[in-house]
Structure 1
Amino acid sequence: MRHRYSILFFPLHVIIDFLSLNTAFVGAYWIKFQTLEAVSEAPYASLWWLFNVIWLVEILVLKPYIYPRQLFKSGHLVRQLLLLTFIHVAIIAVCWIAIQGYYYSREHLLITYIFFLALGAIFRIGGVLFLKEYRARGYNNRRYIIVGYGKLANTIRAFYDVHPEMGFHFCGYFDEPTVENSEFLRGEYEGLIDYIRTNHIDCVYCCMPYMDNERLKSIAENAETFDYQVKILVDFRGFLARSTSIEYHDVLPVLNLSSGLLSDFRVSILKRSFDIVFSLLALILGIPLFLLIAAITRITSTGPIFYAQERIGQGGKPFKIYKFRSMYVDAEKTGPVLSGGLLDNRITPWGRFMRKTRLDEIPQFYNVLIGDMSVVGPRPERQYFIDQIVEIAPEYRSLLSVKPGITSIGQIKYGYAASIDEMVQRLRYDLLYPKRRSFLFDMWIIAQTLRVMAQGRGK
């Protein structure tokens, strides 16, 4: 018989909690009064019954013992116990005030809840540890198959392979056979339902990128008949925003992938206000330094002091970025070329020093002031290189949702990139920024940038 043990978890959980609650109540009474003779008499008999009735109502209303195997973890169960106990305490407190039951010992109540939490936590943690070991040995398993073979299918299988304590036993892939997948398949769609019935499959994972709605409909319609669960997998990796939410248009659920953080008005206003103040102070107070750098740039090599180049900003909008010139004139006369690092022979000796100390980036405070850039943000690139980066790492497009910056995590941790591969490696750092953007995080990046400049460790 399938699930012959799983059906016992719910009543066992209920019984253990009631035993813990009553043991705690009686034990606390003995500790407080050193006797058990009057615990079943008025007035404590009424309180004892009230304890049990309230806990029963919580179980019936909140259904706290119904959860998937993925949530059967010590931390989740203990947090749930704390929540249920808090609700229980609150209701008892209201009843205590309503009946003016000041004759009940508050010390007894405190000890009761401490004992109950201790017993409940011990049983939950012990039960989870036992069940993990029990399932890891091959018992109490759920048999599952995956319909639709591909990367997403391999991901869900790998997840259960590294978590044997969840008790999911893989029974095969099903899909239309192709040259690429034929060696991995257990069977085709035509034999799927027969396989589920004869092999007592408990769960069917359907990978939507690799199967159509008609197949899914057929699988779902047979689920009740043959007693199996249907779970749908959709691959949102690479573009799923942190603040994703579900909106309902009448009865139609719509997944909103727009990040609430990036459109948050207060965050945007605070960041822009800081950019204006900071860039103004940098431009005004840095005038003596600017003049010195400009003079040395002019003296050490022939050509203009400043260098302007088109970059791609927020939303894909092009703008002119300004720097102190660190290369010889006509360094890119044959077309766009990435810098080869500090050893690039196109860089002037003075330019190497400016790059190591980030001094060549100072004119970009003007870009910040006029709104093309921010003090902190992913470094802007040219369209020529963006096209190549996107072919390797499509997630780069997410960086265009925020303003580019003078400094970034990638600049601190990686520095200048001398090839497309290095740009992709630096991208891994910059991709953290849109997800973690905040004023304090910006301050941390600025502090790290100042440290790099002072130590001359830029590259």
Structure 2
Amino acid sequence: MLKVFSHYFPSHTLQQILLDALLLFVAVVLAVTFQAHAETVEWEVVIPSALSFAFLMVALNSAMGLYRPAAQYSHRAAIARVLLSVLVSLPVAYGVFRWLPWSGFNSGAMQASVLLMLGVVLSMRALVNRRQASSLFAPRVLILGTGPDALAVQRALACPAQGGMEIVGFFSGGGDDPVEVDPRKVLSGSGLVEVVRRLRVNEVIVAVRERRGGVLPLRELLDCKLDGVRVFDLSSFFERVQGQVRVDSLRASWLIYGDGFRQSLGRALIKRCFDLFAATVLLLLAAPIMLITALLILFEDGGPIFYRQERVGLGGKTFKVTKFRSMRTDAEKDGKPRWAASNDDRATRVGRIIRKLRIDELPQLLNVLVGEMSLVGPRPERPYFVDQLAQEIPFYGVRHCVKPGVTGWAQVRYQYGSSVDDAIQKLQYDLYYVKNHTLVLDTLVLFETVRVVLTGEGAH
């Protein structure tokens, strides 16, 4: 895992992106080299143009989710994802050919060659992602502990997205920790430092909660760190690997003394300028879709077109969120708030379509313009549910230290939720966003949102 601007990126994913960009770059250079009159080519124009083309295509297909591990998907879903990438990439690539300054050597044969190479790269990437991801620099990991936390770490590392991090074994932390992992991989009989050196361990994951009574070999962990071995506790591990701050392993001291959770005037100003620019552009682009949606809602069952509801925003203050009405006007005729559910029978015919395509969220861009929301942030909840969740979930109020968002890290990483358990899962992603939010993470969330909308993933 590589940390870039406070966000962790899987190293194998970055390797895949760089490899594909290199292949596309080489394809353009070769196509130019072998065409007629290649001796007149202006390489000072071709090289930067080829680089721009390669990274633009890779960025586009990153947004399509092509670099997300596909091992957990069916063959049909994987094929559909590749076809979607091809259908989007090829027209965009053709448009890039017309836009870049290649007029002197931009022949039909060159375009066909590069587009064919692009199709091959997309297909090969899909085939590779069907297998367990691997990295050239996959670390060797020792897990300190044998109980339920160690088992959770093992399952997290078994996910295809983790780039084949190799678990060399489990070291018993002492005490009465139960053995819930494979007993054949439990190491004992020698000191921690000796085991780390003998097995050439790169990382130690401390999966033991008990910190008192000599359970943790603190001196040996310090020696490991001084030897260059990276040591992570549970909170840091899940933040790095799964992009979430786990509530069950969270301590108030970690929130206070740990890195992140920085709020500054400069950061707020940059985010506000980004919100104003992006929301204005999106409103202009989405205006025809919003007009058609308003007419369809009006024709189906009359007004109102918009649905305004009280939500909790920055600092716990309430505001009225604006959305296209997707449910019947008597959806809560009993006056009792209810979570929206998947395939909710209260939704209208038009409502089911616009919710699946996320079109019902577009009017929230108006909330962004007036400063009540941000383009990216935690999903704003209703006061009724906030009061309920704050009593049942520790640290729930932390998510209100930033503006709520039209889209967010939790929305693109976790399916639609309608229960307290779902709220806990989404809170863990919200806490990660609050801790690490930067313009880079906001941009990544927007890319992920494009993928979610185009693939219909998690639609409700």
TM-score class, shorter-chain normalisation, is 0.3 to 0.5
Normalising by structure 1, what TM-score? 0.47
Larger RCO, structure (CA 8 Å, separation 6 or more)? 2
TM-score (ref. length: structure 2): 0.47
